[in-house]
Chain A
Amino acid sequence: MDLTRRSLLGKAALAGAFALTPRLAFAAAAAATDQRFVFIILRGAMDGMSLVMPVGDPAYSRLRGALALPPGGAVPIPLDSTFALHPAMARTAAMYAAKEALFIHAVASPYRERSHFDAQNVLETGGTAAYALKDGWLNRLVSALPVGREPPIAIAATVPMVLRGTAPVTSYAPSALPEANDDLLHRINGLYEHDPLLHPLWSEAMDARTLAQSGGSGGGTGNASPVALGKLAAQFLSKPSGPRIAVIELLGWDTHAQQSLRLTGQLRQLDAVIGALKDGMGADWSKTAVLAATEFGRTAAINGTGGTDHGTGGAAILAGGAVAGGRVVADWPGLGNGALYEGRDLKPTTDLRSVMLGVGAASFGVDPARLGPALFPGARVTPLAGLLRT
């Protein structure tokens, strides 16, 4: 049998796309698929009200107390009459000024409880409840696109939920280990020939390795700092035949205590990752959209330990040369008495899925009315239009 499992999977995914939406794959094939999409998962619940501070809301400084302003007397960067950006996000602020970045506020997934792990499952599967779907929404997005490109890539040693599913995907992370010799790699191919789990994984690993090496990076680039992950993602995405979708994960956002300095460090890193993507993409930045989102926001008020607890509404970042930026997209619910969700959280007024659908459809030239049911089965999601330049 000379069909590899990977090509079988690819065909199965294609067949699935046809069955679901008959003309979808053709429509997409005709459209520009040279666009790039990067999804950055901020695990741990990033505090959206510290990223994009609603300084114009009269209740803000009372609720936030010592957290209302960044540490060390740093000055927030004004975005409009209501909002200001955390000063750790200097590069993203420059993109905002150049109309290459926007922020979405008071946004949330459909999840309304306060468990990180369930909420991340909803964020990644695109389901309406945790564990309702077994694959990730980005994997389903891939199934709706023409095959033939390199599969989407997780810049991580393992594949996060958002990319898991029937469409082939791969993962790659910089390694500090010495590389295994080619003969051994070849023999292992034979060892896994009949193993339904290991054979496809190994094929993907070998393909990603070849791709990384052809870029002259040699693969092993030392320990993976978040910035290195951004650079590496850009390296893959800017190859002419490389993947068009990448996922990066950043951990450490669960700031229950002493939030001020910790969050500054976290945001500085996030800003550096976005900056590394822009630098690494070069001319292809104009075709790129980067969405950074988290599982839920944090409480509107500061807690007793200088931090914030699990909340609901939060903020997301959309950056890239393809983005129609320079604005804060928010139907701001206010922070006054009675405006908070359950009396404690920023009330979500924008569905994060409408952002995902809006960006996914616009990036890859797919009709959102067709893409919506594939990305978010069982839900009626209205795409947020006009997020990208067309």
Chain B
Amino acid sequence: MSSDIAIAINRFGLGQRRDEPVPSDAKRWLLDQFAAFEPRPAVLASVPTSVAMAIQYRESLLMIRDALGAKAIPELANIPAMAGPAAAPPSPKAMQKDVQKELREGYRMSYIALASGRIAAAVASPTPFAERLTHFWANHFAVSADKMATVGLAGTLEFEAIRPNLFGSFADLLLAVERHPAMLLYLDQSQSIGPGSAIGARAAMRADAKRKVGLNENLAREIMELHTLGVGSGYTQGDVQELARGLTGWSVGGFVRRPTGIEAPDGAFVFQPDWHEPGVRTLLGARYANNGVGQGEAMLRTLAVHPATAHHVATKLARHFVADEPPPALVARLAAVHLRTGGNLTALYRALIDAPEAWATPLTKFKTPWDWTISSLRGLGMRTAPDARSVGTLAALGQPIWRPGSPAGWDDIAASWAAPDALLRRVEVAQRIAGASGGALDARSLGPQLMPGVWSSTTAAAIAKADSPAQGLAMLLVTPEFLRR
């Protein structure tokens, strides 16, 4: 039996659902998903939006102000939202514990609603290739839900900026992401002020160190290093600073405490002209006239179709869909498609489907905890109710949803995920999921259904010796075949 179907449903998709027909034409099935994909399926209809999170955040500010007075407010944006290894609770002395606890709880609930929405959408999706692409881009443009301002926002970036732009151009996707409140807050762009801007000049005249305002180059650096050109592609510290200057004034309504900007609706992108650094900018040798918000946009549009960006995106796609060490020939072909089409994402996805490298066996990509959990739930035919439990499972497996801890996102290679302890955790989860399925499924027939053409006879023989249906299912989920895609 050919392995094409197994590759389509596992490498490109999120694993076969037990209760749905196995596709008969692998490539056709993938291509049909471009049109069938729903940016906002029913399971995501009621998850919190960035506007709702903005309002919640503003209310938090007022609560704290009431409790403590205005002095404590500037630090709020950086209070870790959840306790844990990645986010320590510094517990500001003055802050009353109950206020803080209540706020945390509110943000935690929003995070869980968003994260369990993501799981439910992935588990139920009839277009799992498109769904995988949304996860890919969410990781490419990672916002980590580690501080209070971003804990409820990280997920909204995926739902509001990535899903609607999945099949457009890379430039449109890039602009939607960089203008989104989650990104602007996460990488400290929302308070970056040009030293030569109206507000910057006024602050400089006061010469008061405590009220110092200025440029923050964090977003600009990560755009060039992670989102577009890629590290080591030849840009300089000077280029980073020029892009940072070009982006000054990009901010978010309702999140920013400084009273010096124009009013904007909570959670909406706002350009603050008085914060924008005046003057012509030079990026990678090209000059950009100062036309306000258009200056930064023009810089991003140029970056989106730069050869280094094409190569960087092609490398990441090839690594995700083909091999940890992406074949150079495939990377070159994908990069050429990017440049020829001006970054047309659908053309890139087509080129991937057309790539013989993507259909090679054996399966070599080791599933991430996310891939593995979703494919397990799909394989056993489950549909998750929104709850905290499966969200917690991902944390226990080492890949808490939207919390990679850095803007680089999660690694996409086996060495980062295939480790002794990680494997043991999967077995523990497999035992629990299999137990929850009630023992009504037969792993002996389910294995070849989920992994058609790649289910080995040694695996089949080992499963056949299981001491119970539930044990057989648990074993199925951690077989060498099912751990890979």
> Do chains A and B interact in one complex?
yes
Residue numbers of A with Cβ under 8 A of B are 43-44, 65-66, 72, 113-118, 130, 154, 156-159, 164, 170-173, 175-181, 183-185, 187-188, 190-192, 194-195, 197-198, 201-202, 204-205, 208-209, 223-226, 229, 249-252, 254, 256-258, 260-262, 264-266, 268-269, 302-307, 309-310, 342
Contacting residues, chain B, for A305 (C-beta < 8 A): 188, 191-192, 214, 216
Of the candidates B79, B88, B459, which one forms a contact with A226 in the assembled complex, judged by CB atoms under 8 Å apart?
A: B88
CB-CB under 8 A for A116 and B90, given A157-B422, A188-B427, A257-B216: no
Choose among B193, B405, B428 the residue with the greatest number of A CB atoms under 10 Å from its CB: B428
Q: List 24 A-B contacts (CB under 8 A).
A: A115-B231, A117-B408, A118-B231, A118-B232, A158-B398, A159-B415, A171-B421, A176-B392, A177-B396, A177-B432, A180-B474, A184-B427, A191-B480, A195-B480, A201-B420, A202-B420, A205-B424, A225-B84, A225-B85, A249-B85, A257-B191, A262-B90, A265-B90, A309-B217
Within 8 A of A (CB), among B401-441: 405-406, 408, 414-425, 427-432
Once the chains bind, are A194 and B458 in contact (CB under 8 Å)? yes
Contacting residues, chain B, for A187 (C-beta < 8 A): 462, 465-466, 471, 475
Interface pairs A-B: 10 shortest CB-CB: A304-B214, A265-B90, A205-B420, A204-B420, A157-B398, A65-B209, A158-B419, A177-B428, A258-B78, A205-B424
Query: A158 vs B422: C-alpha distance in the bound complex, in angstroms?
Result: 6
Give the Cβ gap from A4 to chain B, nearest Cβ, in Å. Answer: 14
Identity of the chain A residue whose Cβ is nearest the Cβ of B430 in the assembled complex: A180
Once the chains bind, are B420 and A309 in contact (CB under 8 Å)? no
Identity of the chain A residue whose Cβ is nearest the Cβ of B210 in the assembled complex: A66
Contacting residues, chain A, for B146 (C-beta < 8 A): 252
Q: Is B213 on the interface with A (CB-CB < 8 A)?
A: yes
Query: A127 vs B405: C-alpha distance in the bound complex, in angstroms?
Result: 24
Once the chains bind, are B232 and A252 in contact (CB under 8 Å)? no
CB-CB under 8 A for A304 and B215, given A158-B416, A258-B78, A266-B88: yes
| Extra contacts besides A65-B212, A252-B80 (17): CB < 8 Å | A117-B231, A118-B231, A158-B421, A159-B420, A173-B421, A175-B421, A184-B431, A185-B427, A187-B466, A191-B459, A191-B475, A191-B478, A192-B480, A194-B458, A208-B420, A261-B79, A304-B212
Contacting residues, chain A, for B100 (C-beta < 8 A): none
Instruction: Please tell me the size bucket of the interface on B.
Output: 35 or more
Contacting residues, chain B, for A190 (C-beta < 8 A): 462
Contacting residues, chain A, for B90 (C-beta < 8 A): 261-262, 264-266, 268
Q: Is B87 on the interface with A (CB-CB < 8 A)?
A: yes
Within 8 A of A (CB), among B131-169: 146
Give the Cβ gap from B154 to chain A, nearest Cβ, in Å. Answer: 15
Query: A342 vs B238: C-alpha distance in the bound complex, in angstroms?
Result: 12
Of the candidates B83, B213, B425, which one forms a contact with A177 in the assembled complex, judged by CB atoms under 8 Å apart?
A: B425
Of the candidates A180, A188, A250, A257, which one forms a contact with B85 in the assembled complex, judged by CB atoms under 8 Å apart?
A: A250
Contacting residues, chain A, for B210 (C-beta < 8 A): 65-66
Of the candidates B214, B414, B471, which one forms a contact with A184 in the assembled complex, judged by CB atoms under 8 Å apart?
A: B471
Once the chains bind, are B84 and A223 in contact (CB under 8 Å)? yes
Query: A179 vs B396: C-alpha distance in the bound complex, in angstroms?
Result: 12
Query: A65 vs B207: C-alpha distance in the bound complex, in angstroms?
Result: 11
Q: Is B358 on the interface with A (CB-CB < 8 A)?
A: no
Interface string of B378-405 (1 = CB under 8 A from A): 0000000000000010001110000001
Contacting residues, chain B, for A202 (C-beta < 8 A): 420, 423
Identity of the chain A residue whose Cβ is nearest the Cβ of B185 in the assembled complex: A257
Once the chains bind, are A303 and B216 in contact (CB under 8 Å)? yes
Q: Is B101 on the interface with A (CB-CB < 8 A)?
A: no
Give the Cβ gap from A109 to chain B, nearest Cβ, in Å. Answer: 16
Query: A94 vs B417: C-alpha distance in the bound complex, in angstroms?
Result: 39
Query: A44 vs B147: C-alpha distance in the bound complex, in angstroms?
Result: 15
Contacting residues, chain A, for B396 (C-beta < 8 A): 175-177
Once the chains bind, are A201 and B425 in contact (CB under 8 Å)? no
Within 8 A of A (CB), among B212-231: 212-218, 221, 225, 231
Contacting residues, chain B, for A307 (C-beta < 8 A): 188, 216
Q: Is B77 on the interface with A (CB-CB < 8 A)?
A: yes
Once the chains bind, are B218 and A157 in contact (CB under 8 Å)? no
CB-CB under 8 A for A179 and B462, given A43-B406, A191-B478, A258-B74: no
Query: A115 vs B226: C-alpha distance in the bound complex, in angstroms?
Result: 10
Identity of the chain B residue whose Cβ is nearest the Cβ of A208 in the assembled complex: B420
Query: A209 vs B188: C-alpha distance in the bound complex, in angstroms?
Result: 42
Contacting residues, chain A, for B78 (C-beta < 8 A): 257-258, 261-262
Contacting residues, chain A, for B425 (C-beta < 8 A): 157, 175, 177
Once the chains bind, are B428 and A208 in contact (CB under 8 Å)? no
Query: A256 vs B428: C-alpha distance in the bound complex, in angstroms?
Result: 39
Q: Is B91 on the interface with A (CB-CB < 8 A)?
A: yes
